[in-house]
Chain A
Amino acid sequence: MIEIRFHGRGGQGAVVASNILADAAFREGKYVQAFPYFGVERRGAPVTSFARIDKNPIKIKSQVYHPNFIIVLDPTLMNIADITSGLNKNGIVLINSDKDPNYYNLSFKTATIDATSIAIENKLGSKMAPIVNTSMLGAFAKISGEVTLESIILAINESVPLKKEENVKAAKEAYEKAMIL
């Protein structure tokens, strides 16, 4: 079983991201589960969400404590929360950042993608509050190899209510630009 944990802020689309990822893996014949952990539904508040992907039916219904992948939608969270807590020692951290992966100097394999710029260029959300989730998923498809970009695109088309084309374009661009250490 592959477990993924998303860290974001309310409004960035972390919850939708976990759903799109689950949907994409489901389209590849996997069993999936995705769910959020939040208190108040408020823009800017830290939000965690989870996804599980397995070739067998998934029984477990608890939160994810030892993920294989961590996806950080907002780099400012790197300083205020123990983002890599519980990450599998062979796990990968994917950060929305314009920096090189080396910059973070983590003891885990690290990847970065400037999802904020990609989202702004594609007019996803506003300049002040860009919606970066679909860009992050495009990058995830590249660096993880767990799900194809094609499935991510199909799932985006199913789940995203507005600006489908722009979201797909953002995912493709992020797939091309993702940097891994």
Chain B
Amino acid sequence: MKEIKVGSSAVGLFGWCTALGFCVLVVGCSGGDVGHVSGRVAVGGKPVTKGAIVFENPQAGISVNAELADDGTYTVRSHQREGLPPGTYQVAVRPTAFGGEEAPLVTDPNAQPSVAKSDIPEKYQSVATSGLTATVKKGDNPPFDFDLKP
């Protein structure tokens, strides 16, 4: 009887240690030093339904694109993190959706590539000229809404 008691308490101790270790692991992996970034893009109050928003911080080597949904909303994330490291970002809005397959090589040497027609004024399409910035803090941030002047 005595031996069984010792055995069961050993199992219990082992179980508790495992559970504790698991908890530490889970806490250690979740969270992280990112700020959640989401919001809405509009031109003159009208939501931008097609395109992507760019958050760029050259010093940190970050230039992340987030696609705009049908109602102009977006959420920034990468495959590793749900958001962006804290810091100040330059922002631009691109008229065409991001990603997709590699475009075919040009078929006619004299043809000019077509530039997508868009309501987004040209100055907002490049971080160099847009003048838009966003300061991201760790954790939850108020929505970064951009209403661009047409």
Do A and B interact with each other, yes or no? no
